[in-house]
């Protein structure tokens, strides 16, 4: 497995992972789906209210900052949608799946 500790964006993996590896990693994640254009993984988390959704967003921001790997986040009343892909790879890398696993552990 490639190095998934991105210290700066120049060190991020720059080659998308093979489809077979994506399928295997996706199967290990609960609630995440694969979306095309650009290839990315996405998950929507549900909450009782805006305050809980915002608190979750702040926790996942801490993960993103620690990894220096940042998702697209859509915060709405009662939900947070998270999309991950590695921009400089133009698709998915192990970093994206590592981040999703950490978010699922919240």
Q: What is the pLDDT of residue 12?
A: 57
The confidence score (pLDDT) of residue 29 equals 95
76: left (phi over 0), alpha (psi -120 to 50) or beta: beta
pLDDT of residue 8: 44
pLDDT, tens digit (0-9, with 9 covering 90-100), for 19-72:
899 999 999 999 999 999 889 999 999 999 999 999 999 999 999 999 999 999
74 pLDDT band, cuts 50/70/90, is: very high
* pTM of the predicted model as reported, rounded to 2 decimal places: 0.85
CATH tag, 40-106: 3.30.1360.20
* 34, HSE (Cβ side, Cα atoms, 13 Å): 16
């Amino acid at each position: 497995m490639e190095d998934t500790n991105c210290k700066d964006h120049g060190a991020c993996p720059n080659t998308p992972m093979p489809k077979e590896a994506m399928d295997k990693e996706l199967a290990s994640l609960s609630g995440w789906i694969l979306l095309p254009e650009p290839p990315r993984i996405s998950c929507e988390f549900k909450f009782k209210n805006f305050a809980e959704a915002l608190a979750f967003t702040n926790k996942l921001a801490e993960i993103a900052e620690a990894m220096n790997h940042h998702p697209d986040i859509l915060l709405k009343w009662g939900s947070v949608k998270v999309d991950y892909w590695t921009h400089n790879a133009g698709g998915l890398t192990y970093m994206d799946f590592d981040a999703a696993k950490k978010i699922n552990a919240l």
